[in-house]
Amino acid sequence: MMHPRPKHIGIILDGNRRWARERSMPPTYGHRVGYDKAKQVLEWCWELGIQTVTVYALSLDNMKKRNPEEVSSLIGLVEH
C-alpha cells in the first residue's frame, strides 16, 4: 500500500553546539556533524520526491551571540 508523502517539510537545526560540548568537542565540530546529517536528510527528501524543504539554521539574534570564528564556520557551511 502506497502511503502519501508530504510535498513540503521543515527542518530546524538545533543542538549541534550542545551535542559537541557534551563530547568535549569544539562547536565547529558539532556544526559540521549537523551539516553532514542535514545534507543526508536532504538527499533522502530528493529520493522520496519531496518537492520543498525549508531549513532554519541560524537566527540573526543567535549570530550576534556567537564568537566571530564560530559564525564564520557556520557561514562557510551554508555557502558550501
Q: Among all residues, which ones are annotated catalytic?
A: 14, 62
- Most distant CA pair in the chain: distance in Å? 51
Distances, alpha carbon 29 to alpha carbons 22, 66, 73, in Å: 12, 15, 10
* Per-residue cell: 8: 513540503
